[in-house]
């Protein structure tokens, strides 16, 4: 029985676990949402909520305590300036865990952990830009198309001279010649 054993150990030593959780909370503060395993998300949640509670008090002592835990000045600054004021009216429950299913490689259960009062998610904007780039790539003509465009401009002049001529059918590509090892080039032809 696991009575009074609240620490989720995650198969790591105490120092490794503290560093891992601190880095996860810093990433959560920076990106507003992180994708991780369900066990890590459940371990990160209490620490993240404790940091928001420190951020809500806003004192120098709370800032130093958060810095001792998180070890990143930029994350502590963003926590006290952005994240904690958004949750000022809330009495707890600053994070939510959204289960995603299993990872393909090792079937680990995955989840998003995110702030309940989250601002705009940064991850969605690059996806729209990628779609736009694909459309631009399709719109540009390739070298073969640009070569066919220039003769077409010259064709109306040729048609005026000889109106009975039909357009030539497109040539089929010749099959690629294969080179076999051990044969000389004269034998291939």
| Residue 2 structure tokens | 């696991």
Residue 93, in any domain of the structure = yes
The enclosing H or E element of 94 equals none
Strands across the sheet with 109-115, in order? 33-37, 109-115, 95-102
pLDDT of residue 161: 56
Residue 108, in any domain of the structure = yes
Q: pLDDT tens-digit profile of 115-125?
A: 999 866 555 55
pLDDT of residue 173: 75
| Selection from 110, 102, 115, 116 nearest residue 39 by Cα | 110
pLDDT band with cut points at 50, 70 and 90 for residue 85: very high
Residue 72, in any domain of the structure = yes
Q: Which domain holds residue 32?
A: 14-118
pLDDT band with cut points at 50, 70 and 90 for residue 53: very high
Q: Give the dihedral sign, CA 118/120/126/131.
A: positive
Residue 177, in any domain of the structure = no
Residue 186 clears pLDDT 90, i.e. is over it: no
pLDDT of residue 76: 97
Q: Write the CATH number for 103.
A: 3.90.1030.10
Residue 82, in any domain of the structure = yes
Number of domains, the chain: 1
Residue 189 clears pLDDT 60, i.e. is over it: no
pTM of the model: 0.63
């Amino acid at each position: 029985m696991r009575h009074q054993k609240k620490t989720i150990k995650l198969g790591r030593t105490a120092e490794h676990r503290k560093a891992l959780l601190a880095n996860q909370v810093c990433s959560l503060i920076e990106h507003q949402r992180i994708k991780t395993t369900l066990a890590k998300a459940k371990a990160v949640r209490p620490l993240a909520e404790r940091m928001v509670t420190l951020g809500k008090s806003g004192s120098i002592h709370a800032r130093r305590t958060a810095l001792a835990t998180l070890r990143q000045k930029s994350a502590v600054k963003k926590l006290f300036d952005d994240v904690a004021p958004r949750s000022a009216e809330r009495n707890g429950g600053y994070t939510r865990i959204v289960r995603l299913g299993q990872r393909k490689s090792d079937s680990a259960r995955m989840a998003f952990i995110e702030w309940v009062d989250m601002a705009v998610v940064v991850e969605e904007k690059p996806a729209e830009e990628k779609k736009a780039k694909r459309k631009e790539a399709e719109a540009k003509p390739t070298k073969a198309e640009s070569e066919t465009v220039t003769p077409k401009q010259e064709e109306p002049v040729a048609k005026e001279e000889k109106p009975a001529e039909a357009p030539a059918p497109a040539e089929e590509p010749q099959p690629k010649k294969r080179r076999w090892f051990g044969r000389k080039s004269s034998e291939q032809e």
